[in-house]
């Protein structure tokens, strides 16, 4: 079976015996939700199955992220809803983790609304959703990195009592 490469948006340059490929398109996981981007060799039943599985997976992920954020608010928030014996002070690691959960929730949400926005046919809306998707993906990656950095600082017993440490680290993550 012969493999066919799709070259849309890519150029090949040969310089001094080396080949350089330059592509001007961005490919992300939303390809699963957009019907026309599937190769013609993929059976149509697989397309709908993949779309369904992807939507269910992202939906479940959002549900459990929202549940974790709700539980965090119930346990650590200083509100009348929280019984007095359950109030606590969230650790720095927990606060960083909640920022990660928020970024992942918004990443999943932007992914799920992507197809609906694309079907509107509004170029500006598509660009906005793509920008939000990429921003939330970068925020998720940077929050993961911040979580790792904080864990490293904690394990190495470096002081994290820096003035406005949480504000600085969260702004860096976002």
Task: Residue 75: count other Cβ atoms within 10 Å of its Cβ.
Answer: 13
| pTM of the complete model | 0.64
Residue 132 CA to chain centroid, in angstroms? Answer: 10
Of the two residues 107 and 75, the one the predictor is more confident about is 107
Closest CA to 143 of 103, 87, 90: 103
Domains of the chain, residue spans: 45-173
Of the two residues 158 and 155, the one the predictor is more confident about is 155
Note the helical H segments in 77-173: 92-120, 123-155, 165-173
Of the two residues 45 and 75, the one the predictor is more confident about is 75
Residue 7 has pLDDT above 50, yes or no: yes
* Phi/psi-derived region of residue 141, left when phi > 0, alpha when psi is between -120 and 50, beta in every other case: alpha
Q: What is the DSSP string of 43-56?
A: -HHHHHHHHHHHHH
Q: What pLDDT band is residue 2 in, cutting at 50, 70 and 90?
A: low
């Amino acid at each position: 079976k012969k493999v066919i490469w799709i070259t849309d948006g890519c150029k090949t340059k040969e310089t001094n015996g080396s080949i350089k490929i330059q592509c001007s398109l961005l490919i992300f996981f939303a390809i699963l939700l957009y019907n026309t981007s599937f190769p013609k060799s993929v059976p149509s039943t697989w397309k709908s199955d993949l779309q369904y599985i992807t939507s269910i997976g992202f939906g479940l992920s959002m549900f459990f992220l929202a549940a974790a954020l709700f539980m965090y608010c119930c346990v650590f928030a200083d509100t009348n809803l929280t019984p007095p014996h359950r109030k606590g002070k969230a650790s720095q690691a927990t606060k960083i983790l909640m920022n990660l959960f928020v970024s992942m929730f918004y990443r999943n949400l932007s992914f799920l609304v992507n197809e609906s926005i694309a079907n509107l046919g509004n170029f500006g809306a598509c660009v906005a959703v793509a920008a939000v998707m990429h921003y939330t993906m970068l925020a998720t990656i940077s929050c993961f990195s911040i979580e790792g950095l904080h864990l490293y600082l904690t394990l190495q017993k470096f002081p994290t009592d820096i003035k406005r440490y949480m504000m600085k680290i969260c702004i860096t993550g976002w």
